[in-house]
Amino acid sequence: MLDKKKVVLAYSGGLDTSVATMWLKEQGYEVITMTADVGQQVDLEAAKQKALKSGASKAYVMDLKQEFVKEFVWPALKANAMYQGTYPLNSALSRPLIAKVMAMVAKKENAGAVAHGCTGKGQDQVRIEVCTNALNPELDVLAPVRDWHFSREAEMEYAQAHDIPVMATTASPYSIDENIWGRSIECGILEDPWNEPPADAYTLTVDPWNAPDHQEFVEITFEKGIPVALNGEAMDGPSLIQTLNEQAGKHGVGRIDMVEDRLVGFKSREVYECPAAMTLIAAHKALETLTLDKKVLASKKELEVKYAELTYEGYWYSPLKEAIDSFVDTTQEYVNGVVKVRFYKGQAVVRGMKSPNSIYQQNLATYSEGDAFDHAAAVGFIKIWGLPVKTWKQVHKDKMPVEIFC
């Protein structure tokens, strides 16, 4: 029988989860923390010790970078997943993985509950809870910060009173979430859309104005829609992404400042840094134009919107998302080739591409010697293509302006 007073807490080491650990302990729970290494810039051993100091009886620290990239980032890249066409879902993609691993730890520890540090205004609460319910409906899901109803200022006071060190301060109260796919920054001065994000909000990218005055090129090799090499050098997923984060970031690529529609019903100003994500999505989209059929591209673009929405809304483990995955995987069979991208002053621009599976035929597209297109065939094609419109207008003459139709 599951122990309902034993809880596995998704622990980042930030303000919310640090105070949640102590608060849960004060409510009579045995708290086991789980810190997921998904490529964030954090001292994992320090996070483990901090969790224990904050009241945890046991602290798991798990290297999930390979699984995160293979099972979550690459499927999203193949789907060109961008919520509202702008946000590459870096934070949203890690939540179903965190829910999965928490459920696994809960099973190992015979815990009857899992917990997270989300507030009642965030969408992460929905993602984690919906994913947890999909994976193991028997687990209770606790949300101490949401149930506590404390402001961030009150959380900081609680942390100070319980001798819990936290990075957030009243002078710099950013809420940060980071993984290898990108960095999310919110709260504080950023809550007013009129305010320009301060320089200290960014760590992965330089200001485009201060980026190098020279352009830099990178060649990205894709196999079945997945990037496998940079400049001809084969790399595993995390290494490739990290290299691109550094290379694109130093040119100021990947800064996003948007007002997004949150799942819980209101608009929120969000700032992101996603150098590798923005570069790879641009390159992947370009390669698809070279290798995919027109109607496949059109249908895929429609499903990409739905895919991003499902991910954002916590439906990663839904049957619809899994069905779209099957469609996307089919389309990626021939998305192979090399894309050349130029970095310069905040921009990642595709400047060339080639593919052994290209359906672009130069002898059909050229206007020069060697043109293989049958120009004579165009006459009959135009006549048949325009016949429905012509027939309609011939019948409905009253709909035509008198000065045109005689």
Q: Active-site residue numbers?
A: 16, 95, 124, 175
14 is in an annotated binding site: yes
178 is in an annotated binding site: no
175 is in an annotated binding site: yes
29 is in an annotated binding site: no
366 is in an annotated binding site: no
146 is in an annotated binding site: no
36 is in an annotated binding site: yes
331 is in an annotated binding site: no
Three-state SS sequence of the chain: CCEEEEEEEECCCCHHHHHHHHHHHHCCCEEEEEEEECCCCCCHHHHHHHHHHCCCCEEEEEECHHHHHHHHHHHHHHCCCCECCCECCHHHHHHHHHHHHHHHHHHHHCEEEEECCCCCCCCHHHHHHHHHHHHCCCCEEECHHHHHCCCHHHHHHHHHHCCCCCCCCCCCCCEEEEECCEEEEECHHHHCCCCCCCHHHCCCCCCHHHCCCCCEEEEEEEECCEEEEECCEECCHHHHHHHHHHHHHCCCCCEEEEEEECCCCCEEEEEEECHHHHHHHHHHHHHHHHHCCHHHHHHHHHHHHHHHHHHHCCCCCCHHHHHHHHHHHHHHHHCCEEEEEEEECCEEEEEEEECCCCCCCHHHHCCCCCCCCCCCHHHHHHHHHCHHHHHHHHHCHHHCCCCCCC
13 is in an annotated binding site: yes
127 is in an annotated binding site: yes
272 is in an annotated binding site: yes
- Per the annotation, binding residues for L-aspartate are 119, 124
Q: Which residues are annotated as a binding site?
A: 10-18, 36, 87, 117, 119, 124, 127, 175, 184, 260, 272
**Annotated binding-site ranges for L-citrulline:** 87, 127, 175, 184, 260, 272
